[in-house]
Amino acid sequence: MGNSINHLELLRSIDNNTFLENIKKIYCPFIVLPPNPDCDDILAQSIAWLEKLGVADKNYDYKPMLAYMKLSAPSTFNEEQLRLYSDWFLLTNFVDEVIGESIENINHMQIIVDAFSKALKGRPANLPQINNLPQAKLSLVNNTINAINDFHSNLSKFPGNKKYFMNNCILQLRSLIVENHLRNSNSINSSLIDYMDLRASSIGMIYMAEILAIIANIHPSNKARNSFAFSMLRRISARHCGAMNDIFSLKKDLRDGDIGNIVLAIHKAHNLSDINEAITSAIEYTNNMIHTFLTLKELLAEDKVSLQFIAILEMIMSVNIKALMMSKRYQ
């Protein structure tokens, strides 16, 4: 299963009509609220900031990223809250798409993420020499370090818990290391549950949910956070986002020879002969996640603050699907 010939055989055996019919069966009943009316102006400011620092490219197709940002930004955010979210959202998406997708060596990714994390804490973050990293990529990484340093400076204006905010930002950056490991290791040999837990930890969106909650001043109690229901709701939402990314990126992963994909994990775990059957099973698996999520949510029905946080998780899952449907990245 690990060689490119088998990947190409599986790619050729995907029935496009069956694939599209399966996509229509995705169950995600959560409402996506109207976009924040100030989004366009704030996004333009964030893009100009990143272009000035040499992170963003003026020729880049921003549409899918901006659509996700506009759908996920709460309409209740004021301009300061929106700018903080917009800057970090766009910065991490460029890190993921431009850097995360192109660094194959996990040691190189570790070095880069460590430098990013230091910059986020306001510490000197000189990038060590990385052999075989093209100069253009090295310049982009250094520009990103400067942008993260600038973001840290601007964070001084944030009235909330800066330490908790930065910790979640760092966890989101470190998820790139897990994603790199998934793309380049034999994770397909893991059990389905082990694979999904590993995939969940590679999803930066769960940390973005925490960041959104901090900016919105939503702080579930430690008692709630330590409850089985709350921890499972976070885990399910991360698993769901990871599984959805895998389903939509299946063809791209097969073309690229990537083996970290829930469809391939199910195909192997269930010893299926037909990849289309594995796709159907993957959709059913994610739909069952949503049913479990809704059941667990009922256990916290009396906790208003937890429900506010859960609403962010619901929005993240729903917007993720909409963004995947619009994005050309995984086609």
pLDDT tens track, the chain, 331 positions: 444 448 888 999 999 999 999 999 999 999 877 878 888 899 999 999 999 999 988 787 777 778 888 888 888 899 999 999 999 999 988 888 767 767 777 888 888 889 999 999 888 777 767 777 788 888 888 899 999 999 999 888 888 888 899 999 999 988 888 877 776 665 556 678 888 888 888 888 889 999 999 999 999 999 999 999 999 999 999 999 999 999 999 999 899 888 789 999 899 888 898 999 999 999 999 999 999 999 999 999 999 999 999 999 999 999 999 888 877 655 5
Give CA–CA dist 215/308, Å, rounded: 13
CA distance 9 to 12: 5
CB 223 within 8 A of CB 306: no
pLDDT at 2: 41
Task: Tell me the pTM.
Answer: 0.90
CA angle, 209 then 310 then 20, to 5°: 75
151: tokens are 């973001």
Q: Which residues of 200-209 are buried (b: 16+ CB within 10 A; e: fewer)?
A: bbbbbbbbbb
Query: From the CA atom positions of the chain, what is the Rg in Å?
Result: 20
Question: From CA 8, how far away is CA 31, in angstroms rounded?
Answer: 38
**How many other C-beta atoms are found inside a 10 Å radius of the C-beta of residue 85?**
24
Length of the chain (residues): 331
Q: At a CB cut-off of 8 Å and minimum separation 6, what does 311 contact?
A: none
Residue 50 has what pLDDT? 93
108 C-beta neighbours (distance < 10 Å), count: 18
CA gap 238, 202 in Å, rounded: 9
User: Which structural domains are found in the chain, ordered by start?
Assistant: 1-30+185-331 (1.10.600.10), 37-176 (no CATH)
**Residue keyed to tokens 């940002």:** 69
C-alpha dist (Å) from residue 186 to 191, 232, 258, 261, 296? 12, 26, 10, 11, 33
pLDDT, residue 245, reads 92
Tell me if 203 sits within 8 A of 241, measured CB to CB. yes
pLDDT for res 328:
63
Between the alpha carbon of residue 250 and those of residues 14, 48, 61, 196, 331, the distances in Å are 10, 34, 22, 15, 9
Give 86: exposed, middle or buried? Use CB within 10 Å, 0-12, 13-18, 19+: buried
At residue 202, the pLDDT reads 85
